[in-house]
Structures are given as structure tokens and as C-alpha cells.
Structure 1
Amino acid sequence: MKTPTTRRLCSVKAHRAIFFLSLLTILIANVCQAQSFKGFPMWDTNLSFEVRVKDLVSRLTLEEKVGQMLNAAPAIPRLGIPAYDWWNEVLHGVARTPFHVTVYPQAIGMAAGWDSTSLAMMAHYSALEGRAVFNKATALGRNNERYLGLTYWTPNINIFRDPRWGRGQETYGEDPFLTSMLGRAFVRGLQGDDPKYLKAAACAKHFAVHSGPEPSRHSDNFSPSNYDLWDTYLPAFKELVTKAKVEGVMCAYNAFHGQPCCGSDVLMNDILRKQWQFKGYVTSDCWAIDDFFKFHKTHPDATSASVDAVLHGTDVECGTDVYKSLLDGVKKGMIAEAQLDISLIRLFTTRYRLGMFDPVSMVKYAQTPESILETAEHKAHSLKMAQQSIVLLKNEGNTLPLSKNIKKIAVLGPNADNRIVVLGNYNGQPSEIITALQGIKNKLGQEVELIYEKAINFTNDTLLAYANVTNQYSWEGKPGFKAEYYNNVALQGEPEMVRMEKSVDHLWQEGEAVVGRIRANNFSARYSAHYKADEDGYITFEIEADDGYRFFVNDKEVLNAWQRNRWGARTYKLDTKKGASYKIVVEYWQGEGKANVHLRAGLLEKSNLSAIVNRVKDADAIVYVGGISPQLEGEEMRVDFPGFNGGDRTSILLPAVQTELLKMLKGTGKPLVFVVMTGSAIALPYEDQNIPAIVNAWYGGQSAGTAIADVLFGDYNPAGRLPVTFYKADSDLPDFKSYDMNNRTYRYFKGDALYPFGHGLSYTSFQYSKLKTPGKIKSGASFKVSATLTNTGKKDGDEVVQLYLAYPEVAGKAPIRALKGFNRIRLKAGESKTVSFTLSPEQCQLVNEEGALYQPKGKMEISLGGAQPQQKQKTTSNVLTKTLRVR
């Protein structure tokens, strides 16, 4: 007879046996399943990608198909398909990764180098680093996370038609030809030349007619003429799709002629898929499908929007899960399941071409080691491109280069020691950043006395003099802040982790680990402490945060992400009594984007500019580093400082406070250099007339400061050229929302530019001679143009040769002139080289009113030189011009 104890033991043993038997059954099933799916044609590497992809798609259920059309595509274990997130960026180096990578100059700065070879090499190096990141993420089991994949939504080849657009910094400038050639170089460098596998997948964005304004981009509807569409907005996309064979295209937020771009009959079905025969995948811009029914109001709901987007060839939806409504669309007969298959074939073809379904041994790029990250070669190229990007706008009286033998130098300005500004936007994080101040220090060494003053902010002269009050924070007897982290953006539920932290001072890259399971997006945090005042008076708290925050003092909300004081800063002044304790709480939440939150304290004071100028007046030279910042211009930002709105600018003038300081510095009589950092054109009417030397350094990447110092002290001879027109005033600009190209960019602007497109000076001089062209040109035939270029100065240097065409007798619409060739050439002092271009028939054609190409007859003017012809601004190069006749 069994006792109760015996019966319990038997029961336990039986349950254990059942458990282990079940586990064994599952393991056997998994092994069998693995063996089963590995036998499917989709895994057979001897078959073509086309056959394998079709087999894979045929095995998916409807629910699985819809899931694969989201940017965060889930795994399908029964077929061995891993999860994958399509969303990644590589604008100027691998962006938003949690690992350290090489960061190159912002795209507009790389465009200022006018060197397609350098850009192609940058893209190649970035693709290798991206592969290393993906391989490392795969080894860590994180290859399904955002910003770790191999499909990069770059380059941005929209035309920078208006300098007020905050995202213009991401482009290659205002000219369709320059944009086309640089975009083509980027795509070829990134994707590689392997006949079977892609190194990485590029994506041309934003298709099409997209260049601001940012605050209204989700609801805007633009209707440019056919002439402007084909003459300005489409050439770069055509080049990348039909010739560079870009793997992906991203459709834009705005509507085009009444239809959202991702659902445009003209753009998507007719031009992209039918005329250009694009075979790659299309992604929506992130949350753009929501815009169909939320802002454009062209569709009643998510289902109709999703169906229409897919019918127009938008294969993957980014940002939300609106495409999940495709299930409903198929069941209601609004779209056939076979239509989804077309998109899925495109999407999986890209993944197969990236080698994601083949053994590592077969895919050379899959073997890229982690050691490729930030190699010396990559960092050297970042410095080279920063040097190439610098444009010498003005150099009166040979102010530059400065002597290294000076005894005392003053370096001032809001960008002098700004580690954020050099990285631009859509950036990665390098292990080392050289600011302008550090670059000058490194150049001059300890022997030279250097005075540094920030002096002012970008738009005001009131600074927070930071105080070290860390020891005045405590919580329940413990020093510092109680930090609570939540795995959602709403501070809801139980925190993932609670711990004490010394201060609130955090910067995380997207995807980087924060605490526990929390990554640096879609999370929130609360920081609580008591602040004990050490004296009567006041203390000013300053908050810097991406996305959202609230600031409480003694349980009263005193500041949030939508409030600013009269200085435009995120600050709160607290009157204090010595020994009193004040409860302070920061609530912070982060959706997409880099995550950063900082709480600082100190005294907010108006700068004594007279005292600052008096301290530097005996310096041998003064370098002011100003301009603007990606903290002011960028994508759909919460920025409302004077002159800025939502990421765009309301004025292109240099902020007045900077001009006032420059006037005071000019009054010292000392050699004065203005280093401009910007992602767009700035109007500098006073500075052009009064500051002897002006250098435009853009957002120069991790080695920006070294490059700036190299130029300032003559170790590098600048040769950058403007990829955009620098206008004199806001009055030069048409309505921002008008996409009519009349009086826009150098091709149509009838006024006098401050610094024209293509402008840039040098420390040496160049001379052009012996221009050779055919006497007559036959319509539809290629022809050659050549000239002799000589460095007539005493320094080695680069020259950017520019070739322009004009048709002065054309009766219809035509550019004043248009760039049709460029080449950056290195010449030693006294050296001569022959430069030549072969112009194709298409390069010589114009666009008619209907948007079709044609070859005009009659006079054609060819100009060859280091700038545009007939420029009023002083340049280092003469321009040769010849008039030919086209038969």
C-alpha cells in the first residue's frame, strides 16, 4: 500500500517524466522543423535569388506577409526567417549605432568638396563599418534592432532650393547635376561592385518635390510645373535609379498635385515604376502613410491608405503598424493578396542580395571584422574630407594664413568648443571629437597664450555660468538623484530599474543600452532629489533634453518642453534661502532619435561683451567661431528661437547678437577671422564688408577642429566651393512654400549673390588658357572640351574646375546657366595640367514646358574655369567662355 508521501513522490516523478518527454518532443520537433525548412528551395544556394525568393513568398501566410511589410519585420521561425528592421541611416558615416564609428562632414560639407572620388570612398568605408556593426550585432543577438541593419535610407538627394530649409544640410546642395554626380558616387561606393551581393543597400530620398517647410510637411501639397519637375526635382532621382542602380527609394511626406507622394499616380506608378523601370523596393517615409488620413485627408482610414500605398508600389511602411490593416483590406477584397506578393518579392530580393540567407563563408562582406571600426585609414579620410569641405569666402589683405609664431591668440564664439555642432544631424558617435578650439590648441602647442571665451549664445548674450552643485542634491539621505527608468514613454507601470545617480547628465545613441532591457528609444525616466541651498539668493536650473520633459519644484510644474523664458532658453530661476531644501523632479521621455537629458545649475547672467573684448584686444589674432547649429536647424524640431521655427529658419541673416560682437571685435584693430559653421547659406552683409577673413567650415565631422586649424595656419590650402548660393538678404528669397524655381538658385536667380554657387578662394592662384572646343556641334552627338590649367602661385593647392552651359537665344524657359562638369585637381606651384570633359547629348539638352528633353539649336555658351562666368566676387581663377553653334 502506498503512503501519501509515496503517492506524492510518484506524482512528482510522473510530472517530471511528462515534462521532460514534452521538452524532448519539442526539441525533436524543432530539429525536424529546422531540417525541414533547410530543404526548401528558399535555402538552396545553388538556385538563383529569383527562384529562392518566389519560393519563400509562396510559403508565407497572409498574416506573415503583412508582418514582413513593416519596417520592424518579425521573425518567422517555422521557415528560419530572422527578424529584421529595415530602418537605418548612413548620411555621413554610420548613424545612430550604439558603437563608436567614424563620422565624416555633414552631407552639405562633403558636397562643398566637389570631389566625387572622395565621396565614393567615404561611402565605401561607411559600408564596411556598417557591415562590422551588423556582424557584431548578429553575434550579440541584436541584429533585429533598429539602426543595426544593412538597408540605409540615404542619400538625401532633394534639391536645396531654399536656404531656410533646416534639412538642406543633409543634401548635396542646390544644383541637380552636382547632386546627381555626388549621389551616384555615394550609391556606388556604398553598394559595392560585387556581381552577386550588395555591400549595403542605399536608398534615394525623398521622392519627390520635398524640401520644406518642416512644420507643415505632413499636410503640404505641392504642384510644380512639369518644367520644374523634370528640370530641377527629378534629375538626381533619375540618375540614381536608371544609372547608379540604387536599391531603394523613399517616398516623401508631402502630397504632389493632390495625392500623397507615397500614393502618387504620376511619381510612383508612371515615372518610377513604368518610365524608369525601377525594380528595387520603396519605403514610405516614417509615419507618412498615417498622413494620408490624418493630415492630407485624402483617405478615410488606415485600411484605404495602406491599400492605396501598396497599389502605388510602396513596399514597406515605416514608423507605425498602419500596414497591419492590409489584412482587413485583403479580406474585404480591396486588394489582392497577389499584390502583396509583388512587394514581398522586392523586399526579400534586397535581403537575399545582402547575403542574409546565405552562409557567412559565401558572403565576403559578412566576414568584415569589428576591427574595421574607426581605423586610422577611415579617420584620415574624415580629416581629408573636412579639409576639402572648407570654403574660403573672403581673405582681404592676406589675413590668412595666420602665423604660427604668434604669441597670443583669442578664440571666441558659441561654436568654438561645441562638440555637438561638428557632428551635424543623422550622425554616429566617434570615440574622439576635435572642436575648433582643440584643433587650434593642438596646432599651436603650449608656447602660445590662448584666451577662450564662449561670449554669447547663437541668438542672445545671456549665458548660464555653471556651478558645481552636485553635493547639494540628495534623496532620503543618499547623495544624488533617485532615477526611475520605464520601458515605455509614459512613465507607466513599475519602473524597469530604480537606482541612485550622481547627476542628471546623459547622452545615449539610438539603440544604446540605457538600463536593463531598455534601449535608447521609446522609454522614459524620472529623476528626483532635494536641492539644499547654501546661500540666500537664487539658482537657475537649465534643462537640455530631446523629445519631452517636465520640471517640477516642490511638486509644482514650472517648466516643460513647450515653454521657454524670455531668453529662449529652457531655464527656471529659483529664489533660495540658505539651508532650505527644495524638491526637484525631472520627468523625461524619449521616442525616436538620440536620447539626451541634462540638468545643470548656475547663475544666468548677461555677458559683459565690453569686458570680453577688452581682455582680447592685445591678442595677435582673434578667431571668432560662430554661425548656427544642428541644435537650431534640422528635421521637424521644437525650436522657436528668434530667426528659427520648427527646424527651419525664418531669416537667413546671421543672428544679430553675433554681428554686434563681431563689430566690437573689429574695433580692436587686430587681425580678425570669422569661422562660420552652418548647414546652409547665411546672409553676411556686414561681415562681408567689414571682416577681413571669412571661412565657411560647415559641420565638419569628428576632425573638424583639426581641419579648421590646418586652414587657418596654412598647413592646408583651402579649395572648397559653395554647393549653394549665399544670398545677401531675406528679400532675395521667394515664398518658402512655392516650389516654382523662378528666381531660385544660381540657375534662375536674377539678383547679385553675396557669394555665388561655386565660389571659393585659395592661398595660391590659377590661370586657364587654350580652351578647345569643336567649331560647330551636331545635335545628338557627344563632344570634348579641354583647357590648360596652371598653378601660377607659390603654394601647392587644389582647383575645382567647373564647366557651365548656357543657351542665350532660347525663347522658352531655360536656366541662366547650368553646371555640366566639374573636377577637383591637385597642382603643385608652377605646374600645368590639361583638363578635359566629354559632354554627352543628354548633358546638352534642355527641358521643355511639358517636361521633355530636347536639344536647342543656335548659340551655346561654354564656360570653363574655377567659378561661374561673369561673377562679381573676386576669385582665384579666370573663366574662359566660348560661343558655339548647335546644328
Structure 2
Amino acid sequence: MCSYNRVNGIPSCASHEFLTNIVREQWHLDGYIVSDCGAVLRMYRDVSYASTPEDAVADALHAGMDVECGSYSASHGQEAYDQGKLNETTINSSLINQYLVRMRLGMFDGDPRNQRYGELGPSDVCTEANQELALEAARQGIVLLKNDGNSLPLKRSSNLTLAVVGPHSKSSTDLLGNYHGIPCKDITPLQGIEKLAGGSYGNVNYSPGCNETTCEGDDLIADAVSISREADAIIIFAGLNLIQEREKLDRTSLSLPGYQQKLIQAIADIANSKPVVLVIISGGPVDLSFAKDDGRIQSILWVGYPGEAGGQAIAEVIFGDYNPGGRTPVTWYPESYTLVNMTDMHMRPNDTTGYPGRTYRFHTQPVVYEFGHGMSYSTFEYRFLSSPVVLKLSPTDAPQNSTFQVTVVVKNNSSRGGYETVLLYSRPPEPGVEGAPLKQLVAFKKVHLIGNSETQVVFDLDPFKHLTVVEVDGKHVLRSGDHSLQVAEQTLRVTVSTD
């Protein structure tokens, strides 16, 4: 699906680069592309990208859109064709992409109810394999943000008492996020903890601390503090739900809602060096500076909206049955970032106006958690196996003649196996100068290493794709000079000279 956003000034539904070059050719989509509802209309009405409604329809279809959610194509497609802005080849291509999918589904092979997909029901959806897939997706999406003193995973002992508190402890539907189907089997965080703690902890005691994520009152905090005071370890489930974040609803704050922070700090006040695990359930980032900087809260997990098996996946991570390896997919800004004009989507900072810029590529001010942050119960070490690279290029060089490889060695220095996502960044000459980014992610690979082992990760890079800078006017430019590739704290120099 192409949406409403623009990249380098081009709406995604009008981007031949995205829809055709990347989605179809690079990602090998064998299906059809649909627009978000009203996205084609907005190309003309709201952002003035297209000069006429006919141009909007033609631009989208030429870019690679096949189906429009809306009526613009039906209303203006004929006129676009009559004006010579659309041709039969483009129209036929969109129809072929749609009908091939329908043919594969058997929709033209007689009564659809008698075909392969005509009688699908819960027994087909809720298979053991599908439920295991839901669990694995939840596991891999969990991000370990903080783990002071290796307090996680929690040690198991039948003589210990566990306190589970917070408004998300019994969440089920909230774990599904926005736009979801009917789950096969809900597992709440509390149920997951109770299941895995069985036989490991003498008692699991629960108190919500406050009702709902809005947490509008603090009258239940005292009971949560009471059971936490008697526990040997404390798990707090906090965060957001669709009351705070969903389609057509923007948050006005990056802080936890209501009295949630007060609840967390009240428990930290009486923790007395007990393990305190804070689990955040949310789609977007939250300013957790207070917890990040509080030594009494040793561990923080962010689990997103983990789906129907989320409760089990969270418990597996907390008790060490699964080693977390997720990374933050966005930058986590502090609450002060809400002062930035939300309609100003310039990427680069402006020292004159005090505008801080957006994303890890340009933002220079302190953040709560960086893009790509994530810890593990294992300890990984990196080194580049490749030697410094020297590239002598001319603008006429074909990409296939200028590609090069770099090899990164990843070593697991611990006895425990785990997943590691290798993030490869590039830094241009003079980063941050004349519109150049500070760095940019150019490739990544996720690997699993058993304990005390190492592996080699090979990246194929194209300087005209991975080392270019998008300048203010939207043009890609490959700058001469010393570029660098960076993975963790390791760097590799790539010297580029262009004619």
C-alpha cells in the first residue's frame, strides 16, 4: 500500500522508485499495489503535487499503483486517457496484476466456496504452526532497553514471591494494537507470568495500580505498593493503548499517561534493591528518562503491541527462556520534543530557528533511546574483516561495475546463544555539513550465534546507492572524499574519488 507521505517531495503513490524499482523489482512483489484511501485525491487537492485530477491518476498508475482506495480513478481515469496522459499498456498492467492474484486464488474456477480457499475457518487459521508463528513474532519484537547488573533474566526459586502490577498486566485486546483480526488464543502478561512462574515462585500477587492506561486516579497505587513491598521481585506493566494512539489520533505528550509515572516511582521508592522490571506496551516511543536514569529500576523492556501470544513471549524473556534481540525502529525523543511544530517535517536542523531536525540521520540533541538500540543477554563483539576500500569512479560507471563487498565478523563472547541484528551505517565526508546526514543505515542482517562462536556477515554495497547524499533539492550526490562504514563502535574507511 502506498500512503499519504512524501519522500524527497514525491508522494509515495506517485513514486516509481518505490512502487516499481523497489517493491516490484527489488522485493519481487508478485501481487498488486493499492493506495491508502484518498491518497490519489490528496496528490492534487492537498499537496498540489499534481496539476490536475487527471495528472494525479496518471502519475499514480504510471508509478506502479494498481488499485485505488477511492473514486478518483473512476471519476478521472477516462479523461486522463482521452488527454493522452494514460495509455492502454499502463492500464492493462494494473489489471493484469490484480487478476493474476484472483486467478491464483481460484476465483474464476467455478464456485469459490468449493475452491482451495473457499472453506477456510478457525481450524485452518489457528493451526499449531500459525500460533507458533505469532509467538515467534512477539519474541523477536521485544527490545531490551536497560538491564543494569544483568538483573534479567529473573532467577527462579520456589521460595520467592513475585509482584505483578500495572494497568497492562491483564491486557489482551490492547496487545493487538490497531487493525487486527480475531485472535486464536489470548495470553495476557499476567497469564504468561503465572504460567512460566509456576513452580518457580511460591506466589504471584497482582494489583493493577490504576484502572486503564489513562490512570486518572492514584487511589489504587497504595495496594500495588503494598504487594510490591512483600515481594522478592516486581514486574510493572505500563504504557499506552488505542485511547492514546491510533489512526487519526496524534499524541500531545511523549510521557506516560495519568499517574503511571507516579505508580512506577512509588514502587521504586520501596524496592530496596529488589529486581524491578518495567515493561512498556506501546506502538510509539515514550519518554522514559525518569526510569532510564533511576538505578532502582534495573530493567526495561519495550514490547510494542506484541499480538495474541504477547503475554507468553514477555514471560519467556523475563525468565530467560528466550534471549531478546530486538532493536528500536525509531528514535525515542524526550518530552521536550513535543514543542517542535508537528507540521514542520524538514529533516535537517536549523540553527537560526532552533529547529532540532528529525530522525537519527540529522537530529543532534540528546535523546532517550537511539534508533537501533537494543540489548541482549549475550555479549557480542564486532570487527571488520575487510581492508579499507578505495573507489575511483566516474558518473558514467554502471552500478554493477562499482559494487564492492565488506565483511563483518560477529562474535558471541558469552555461553548463551542469541540473535544479533548487525546494523551497517555509512558516514559521508563532513557529516552534518551542507545538508549531509550524520550517518545513515545502509544495510542490516539478523544472525543467530550459539554461545562462544562467531560468524561472518557479508554486505554487498553500491556506492551510487549506499554512499550518496540526498541534498536539499532532493538529488542524490556521491561526494568525493573519505566515507566511513560503521557497525557498533567499529569503522572502515571508504575513499571515493570521482571524475
TM-score bracket for the superposition, by shorter chain length: 0.7 to 0.9
Are 2:400 and 1:792 aligned?
no
1:635 pairs, out of 240, 244, 247, with 247
Query: Structure 2 vs 1, CA of residues 354 and 375 (structure 1 numbering), >3 Å: closer, same or farther?
Result: same
State the partner residue of 1:358: 108
Query: Structure 2 vs 1, CA of residues 836 and 225 (structure 1 numbering), >3 Å: closer, same or farther?
Result: closer
- Which SS does the other structure have where 1:422 is aligned? helix
Deviations along 1:93-115, one digit per CA (max 9) or x if unpaired, are xxxxxxxxxxxxxxxxxxxxxxx
Unaligned runs of 5+ in 2: 349-356, 394-398
Are 2:427 and 1:427 aligned?
no
State the partner residue of 2:329: 723
State the partner residue of 1:814: 436
In the alignment of these two chains, the number of paired residues is 460
Give the CA deviation at 1:375.
1.1
Structure 1 distance, partners of 2:116, 2:4, is: 29
State the partner residue of 2:361: 747
- Which SS does the other structure have where 1:250 is aligned? coil
Kindly provide the amino acid, as one letter, of the partner of residue 719 in structure 1. G
Maintained 8 Å contact 2:32/2:94: no
Query: Structure 2 vs 1, CA of residues 805 and 265 (structure 1 numbering), >3 Å: closer, same or farther?
Result: farther
Structure 2 distance, partners of 1:816, 1:309, is: 43
Query: Structure 2 vs 1, CA of residues 793 and 372 (structure 1 numbering), >3 Å: closer, same or farther?
Result: same
Maintained 8 Å contact 2:239/2:281: yes
Give the CA deviation at 1:611.
3.7
State the partner residue of 1:844: 467
- Which SS does the other structure have where 1:442 is aligned? helix
Q: How does 1:8-47 map to 2 (within 5 A)?
A: none
Q: How does 1:647-686 map to 2 (within 5 A)?
A: 647-668=249-270, 669=272, 670-686=274-290
Kindly provide the amino acid, as one letter, of the partner of residue 407 in structure 2. S
Are 2:488 and 1:886 aligned?
no
Are 2:167 and 1:381 aligned?
no
Kindly provide the amino acid, as one letter, of the partner of residue 359 in structure 1. D
Structure 1 distance, partners of 2:219, 2:252, is: 26
Give the CA deviation at 1:733.
6.0
Q: How does 1:97-116 map to 2 (within 5 A)?
A: none
Q: How does 1:536-575 map to 2 (within 5 A)?
A: none
Query: Structure 2 vs 1, CA of residues 235 and 452 (structure 1 numbering), >3 Å: closer, same or farther?
Result: farther
State the partner residue of 1:458: 213
Maintained 8 Å contact 1:263/1:309: no
- Which SS does the other structure have where 2:304 is aligned? coil
2:33 pairs, out of 248, 263, 274, with 248
State the partner residue of 1:696: 302
Structure 2 distance, partners of 1:809, 1:615, is: 55
Structure 1 distance, partners of 2:228, 2:419, is: 34
State the partner residue of 1:206: 3
Maintained 8 Å contact 1:208/1:234: no
Q: Which moved more, 1:626-635 or 1:453-462?
A: 453-462
Q: How does 1:148-547 map to 2 (within 5 A)?
A: 204-209=1-6, 226=9, 236-237=18-19, 239-244=22-27, 245=29, 247-251=32-36, 253=38, 259-260=45-46, 264-265=50-51, 268=56, 272-274=60-62, 276=63, 278=64, 281-284=66-69, 307-308=75-76, 346-347=94-95, 350-355=98-103, 356=106, 358-359=108-109, 366=117, 370=121, 371-405=123-157, 407-445=160-198, 448-456=202-210, 457-462=212-217
Kindly provide the amino acid, as one letter, of the partner of residue 256 in structure 2. L
Are 2:234 and 1:618 aligned?
no
Give the TM-score normalised by structure 1.
Answer: 0.48
Structure 2 distance, partners of 1:248, 1:696, is: 32
Query: Structure 2 vs 1, CA of residues 311 and 426 (structure 1 numbering), >3 Å: closer, same or farther?
Result: farther
Give the CA deviation at 1:358.
3.2
Query: Structure 2 vs 1, CA of residues 235 and 386 (structure 1 numbering), >3 Å: closer, same or farther?
Result: farther
- Which SS does the other structure have where 2:414 is aligned? coil
1:764 pairs, out of 347, 359, 378, with 378
Kindly provide the amino acid, as one letter, of the partner of residue 5 in structure 2. A
Query: Structure 2 vs 1, CA of residues 360 and 751 (structure 1 numbering), >3 Å: closer, same or farther?
Result: farther
Give the CA deviation at 1:790.
0.8
Structure 2 distance, partners of 1:753, 1:818, is: 17
- Which SS does the other structure have where 1:711 is aligned? helix
Deviations along 1:43-101, one digit per CA (max 9) or x if unpaired, are xxxxxxxxxxxxxxxxxxxxxxxxxxxxxxxxxxxxxxxxxxxxxxxxxxxxxxxxxxx
Structure 2 distance, partners of 1:833, 1:225, is: 37
Structure 1 distance, partners of 2:216, 2:174, is: 19
Deviations along 1:600-628, one digit per CA (max 9) or x if unpaired, are xxxxxx62422431232010111000010
Kindly provide the amino acid, as one letter, of the partner of residue 358 in structure 1. F
Deviations along 1:828-886, one digit per CA (max 9) or x if unpaired, are 11101111101123233232343233322212110123xxxxxxxxxxxxx21122211
Query: Structure 2 vs 1, CA of residues 776 and 695 (structure 1 numbering), >3 Å: closer, same or farther?
Result: same
Structure 1 distance, partners of 2:305, 2:458, is: 32
Query: Structure 2 vs 1, CA of residues 235 and 648 (structure 1 numbering), >3 Å: closer, same or farther?
Result: farther
Give the CA deviation at 1:345.
7.7
Maintained 8 Å contact 2:325/2:420: yes
Give the CA deviation at 1:435.
0.9
Maintained 8 Å contact 1:721/1:759: yes
Unaligned runs of 5+ in 1: 1-203, 210-223, 290-304, 314-333, 463-605, 637-646, 866-878
Larger radius of gyration: 1
Identity, in percent, stands at 27
Give the TM-score normalised by structure 2.
Answer: 0.82
Structure 2 distance, partners of 1:782, 1:860, is: 15
Kindly provide the amino acid, as one letter, of the partner of residue 426 in structure 1. Y
